[in-house]
Homo-oligomer: A and B are copies of this chain.
Amino acid sequence: MKPAPVHSRTDDLSALARKAAELDAADELAPLRELFTVAPGTVYLDGNSLGALPRHVPARMQQVIAHEWGAMGIRSWDESGWWTAPERIGDRIAPLIGAAPGTVVVGDSTSVNVFKALVAAVRLAGDDRDEILVDAATFPTDGYIAESAARMTGRRIVPYRTGDPVGPRTAAVLVNHVDFCTGELYDLPSVTAAVHAAGATVVWDLCHSAGALPVGLEAHGVDFAVGCTYKYLNGGPGSPAFLYVRPDLQPSFDSPLPGWNSHQDPFGMTPGYTPADGAPRGRVGTPDILSMLALESALDVWNGVTIEAVRAKSLVLTDFFLECVSLEAVTPAAPEQRGSQVSLRCENAGAVMKELIARGVVGDFRPPDILRFGFTPLYVSFGDALRAARVLGEVLA
């Protein structure tokens, strides 16, 4: 049975406060919070939308802007490593998603990477495979882009839910790893295996899992994956997305956006296109260096931190938050089905979230009736979770 909401039972509140204090005291990741800027008085539970600023990033960006751009100018493309940043930063992300070096490249938005990956996936399939299966609960942009990919490759879209059949007409399957709205975590190994058993390829959207939980791309033989870096990877607003291509698929990766940065000899300036080998084949145009180097700098907070430790704390943290609140949780209670967020169903959710934010508890609202709270174990404490639940109780009362 669920405990009563914290706003109604003083004894519960003090017991929960003791528990929060004990959990914080035992939390090995707790010192990492000092690496981040979180506004004083704020419980920031929106890291699943925009990750908090790592404290060292502003100084690094001053150096990038004033020295690398201002003083060194064009030479920085070579001498400051700008040109190779997309694959170098990809290699920093790779271990967090269980990928080998040389398989991840950073650049463009998630939407653009969905287009690259999905078109490339479809191009691996025979013409008789005329269907693209798309997660029925997908974050909308994946669906919009998939429609375009289908139109431009002569396929049709079929809505897909975990467990739906994947068959001989399936060219590719596009699925979200964690549902952006409900926070449900899908079973990547079994879905990937089912897609492969049907002779199709899978594209995983890791926007809500990269940096939040182990993904195991290599271990599970995932074909393609994309994800953003401004949520649990704290890369900054609109920081570039990433693209993963399984090593054995790289030689046949046929991008619909073969920009000059993906050429084998970009500065040869030849009129004919010859794609680069490996991860750089996923590049397109000139990378947005400022956004990209802010991301690279932000990734320093992961030095010495394992994604397994982050996941372990995330589950205890979201368990504890669920214990503290009385609203109906849309997010599954089973740990193996839960991402790093908690979504609660709530009447007047939009107005409630507005009031929460006014009182320093920052989550977000997703229509029609969802309060979303993201838990980033690198900087969210158990005390934060309790305070969020308490303020929510006050707002609802």
Interface residues of A (CB under 8 A from B): 37, 39, 42, 44, 46, 49-50, 52-53, 57-58, 61-62, 65-66, 68-77, 82, 108-112, 115, 138-141, 143-145, 147-148, 152-153, 181, 228, 230, 236-241, 255-261, 263, 267-271, 273, 284-292, 294, 357, 362, 364, 366-367
By beta carbon, the residue of chain B nearest A52 is B73
Q: How far is the CA of A44 from the CA of B62 in the complex (A)?
A: 21
Chain B nearest Cβ from A279, distance in angstroms: 17
Query: Contact at B39–A71, with CB atoms within 8 Å?
Result: yes
By beta carbon, the residue of chain B nearest A54 is B70
Sort A-B residue pairs by CB-CB distance and give the 8 closest, nearest first: A109-B285, A111-B259, A111-B285, A237-B289, A141-B260, A53-B70, A288-B291, A37-B70
Chain B nearest Cβ from A151, distance in angstroms: 8
Query: Contact at B362–A74, with CB atoms within 8 Å?
Result: yes
Contact of A58 among B66, B268, B286 (CB under 8 A): B66
Residues of B within 8 A of A66 (CB): 37, 53, 58
Query: Contact at A269–B181, with CB atoms within 8 Å?
Result: yes
Contact of A140 among B73, B139, B153, B270 (CB under 8 A): B270
Query: Contact at A109–B62, with CB atoms within 8 Å?
Result: no
Query: Contact at A236–B269, with CB atoms within 8 Å?
Result: no
- Knowing A147-B258, A271-B143, A289-B236, say if A73 contacts B58 (CB, 8 Å): no
